[in-house]
Amino acid sequence: MVTTLKASTRILELANEFPFLFDTLVEISPKLKRLRNPILQKTIGRRATLTDVSKMAKVPLNRLFILLSESISKNANETVVIDKDAKEQGEWQEELERRQRKLKDLVLGLHAGEEVEGLQSEFKEILVDISATEIAEMEQSLISSGELTAQQVTSLCDLHVQVFKESLDVQQKPETTPGHPIHTYMNENKEAQRLINVLKDNPDDSTIEELKKIVIHYTRLQNQLFPLLEKAGITGPSTVMWAKQDEIREMINNLNESNLNELLIAIEEMIYKEENILFPMSLENLSEYDWVKVRTGEEEIGYAWITPGLDWKPISPIDIHQVDQEPESPRINLNTGSLTLKEIDLLLRHLPLDISFVGIDEEVKYYSATDNRIFPRSPAVIGRSVINCHPSKSYDKVQKIMTYFKEGKKDKAIFWIQMKGRFFLISYYAVRDDDGEFVGTLEATQDITEVRSLEGEQRLLDWE
């Protein structure tokens, strides 16, 4: 019998015919271990080709052909023919591009006011097996190309989901091990749905207060999961979902009897988007080590209702390469005086304000991990574009500050806001070296509620 390998060969079909290939794939690259995941086999594995596998493993396609053919010949004693026809590969790439163009045409039709039912009928061919990643790529492409702004995509994202709903409904929802971040997110969603169901029958104040904890869930997504997606090159979906989550926050802040039902619907729709688009897409695109990084910073932000399980036991580089405890660092000579790294770290964490430093490349380099940060931060923010650390409605303002600082037009920007009965001062400062060259931006946030109320003088110690 003869097996033919092509660029468009679907990996799951091949691996189901030759189950030993799952072990071969992991030997080729540990990143391919994810293809064993039953949920991914129903999403990315269902459509993933050898071209996709080549990209995931960062292995040349020709090399992948050879390794797979050797494994099949050895373990199944079968002849393998490698079809490296450039024409066939080109046709497959054209098919992928055609699907993306069709998806974009569909969404642009929505924004032009066309009816959902008519678009579903017109584009039925591609809607049959649409994946979460394809939807994400389409939204990101529309934003990157300038065909739609992030605000425009956000404004009609509920309609986008309505168009894709029939296809998304038949796909299995992610199933992960207790302790995995997706498992925790989904358990929080279950509790949120339970509270929503209670409020639909009996809108009592205590249950409403409990539901407000959903904000913690959104904060963790924005600070833990979204930065990792951005590093994987996926920015569109997180931009849109952040904006929708901020709309929910605004509803919670202005909640009254008349808009309670609107809030419940918005949270339910967000649950659907997370579990049918965001989570499957994230599992397809993030590595096991990425999920370790997501999990590592979760405690700093906290959980809504749920305590994560302990069953998930990921392997991280730390497990593989055990690092001896570093000796105490020497003193570092500063402009005035000298400190150890430990002393510097403790000093910055004990400042009566929160600080962050953004480098000249506009990426977050540092934040002070104070005990009671005003705006939550976690290690996943390091290396993240400062633009993506803010809601999309603030993009222009943040970019203007960065540009003016770099060009030397301004040296500081000051804002103040009131939130939950407190008064906060938010300051941005251009950091320049002794020659006046711009090296980055310092952001400082301080609760000045008590400071604003001071009068007269206090010269004596008053600890009584």
Whole-angstrom distance, CA of residue 331 vs CA of residue 146:
51
What is the band of 354 on the pLDDT scale with cuts at 50, 70, 90?
A: very high
Q: Is residue 136 part of a domain?
A: yes
Q: 384 and 363 in contact (C-beta within 8 Å)?
A: yes
Flag the least confident range among 58-62, 303-307, 401-405: 58-62
Helix axes 236-253, 260-273, angle to 10 degrees: 160
Whole-angstrom distance, CA of residue 241 vs CA of residue 220:
13
Q: Is residue 11 part of a domain?
A: yes
Could you tell me the residue range of the domain that residue 62 belongs to? 2-84
Whole-angstrom distance, CA of residue 238 vs CA of residue 186:
17
User: What pLDDT does residue 323 have?
Assistant: 44
Q: Is residue 318 part of a domain?
A: no
Q: Is residue 187 part of a domain?
A: yes
Which residues neighbour 116 within 8 Å (Cβ) at sequence distance 6 or greater?
110, 159, 162, 163
> Exposed, middle or buried: residue 366 (CB in 10 Å: 0-12, 13-18, 19+)?
middle
> Exposed, middle or buried: residue 65 (CB in 10 Å: 0-12, 13-18, 19+)?
buried
User: What pLDDT does residue 426 have?
Assistant: 95
Buried b (16+ CB within 10 A) or exposed e, 178-187: eebbbbbbbb
Q: Does one domain contain both 11 and 68? A: yes
Q: Does one domain contain both 187 and 291? A: yes
Q: Is residue 311 part of a domain?
A: no
What is the band of 232 on the pLDDT scale with cuts at 50, 70, 90?
A: confident
Which of 49, 84, 119 is the last residue before a domain boundary? 84
User: What pLDDT does residue 145 have?
Assistant: 81
Q: Is residue 174 part of a domain?
A: no
Q: Does one domain contain both 45 and 16? A: yes
Which of 144, 169, 194 is the last residue before a domain boundary? 169
Structure confidence by residue, pLDDT tens digits, 12-21: 888 888 989 8
CATH number at residue 371: 3.30.450.20
Q: Is residue 259 part of a domain?
A: yes
User: What pLDDT does residue 321 have?
Assistant: 42
CATH number at residue 60: 1.10.3910.10
Q: Does one domain contain both 97 and 148? A: yes
Which of 28, 50, 84 is the last residue before a domain boundary? 84
CATH number at residue 268: 1.20.120.520
Residue of 124, 258, 156, 151 whose CA lies nearest to 203: 258
Domains of the chain: total:
4
Q: Is the pLDDT of residue 169 over 80?
A: no
Buried b (16+ CB within 10 A) or exposed e, 230-259: bbeebbbbbbbbbbbbbebbebbeeeeeee
How far, CA to CA in Å, does 171 sit from each of 35, 39, 89? 17, 9, 28
Whole-angstrom distance, CA of residue 414 vs CA of residue 69:
63
Phi, psi (rounded to 5 degrees) for 81? -110, 130
Q: Tell me, what amino acid is at 251?
A: M
Name beta bridge partners: 5. Answer: 82
User: What pLDDT does residue 41 have?
Assistant: 62
Q: 273 and 247 in contact (C-beta within 8 Å)?
A: no
Q: 244 and 157 in contact (C-beta within 8 Å)?
A: yes
Q: Is the pLDDT of residue 317 over 70?
A: no
Q: Is the pLDDT of residue 353 over 90?
A: yes
How large a percentage of the chain has pLDDT more than 70? 90
Structure confidence by residue, pLDDT tens digits, 187-207: 999 999 999 999 999 889 999
Q: Tell me, what amino acid is at 255?
A: L
**What average pLDDT is seen over the chain?**
84
Distance of CA 333 to the CA centre of its chain: 39
Residue range 356-365: average pLDDT?
95
Q: Is residue 329 part of a domain?
A: no
Q: Does one domain contain both 291 and 356? A: no
Q: Does one domain contain both 388 and 447? A: yes
Q: 354 and 370 in contact (C-beta within 8 Å)?
A: yes
Q: Does one domain contain both 192 and 273? A: yes
Q: Does one domain contain both 188 and 290? A: yes
User: What pLDDT does residue 320 have?
Assistant: 39
Buried b (16+ CB within 10 A) or exposed e, 444-460: bbbbeeeeeeeeeeeee
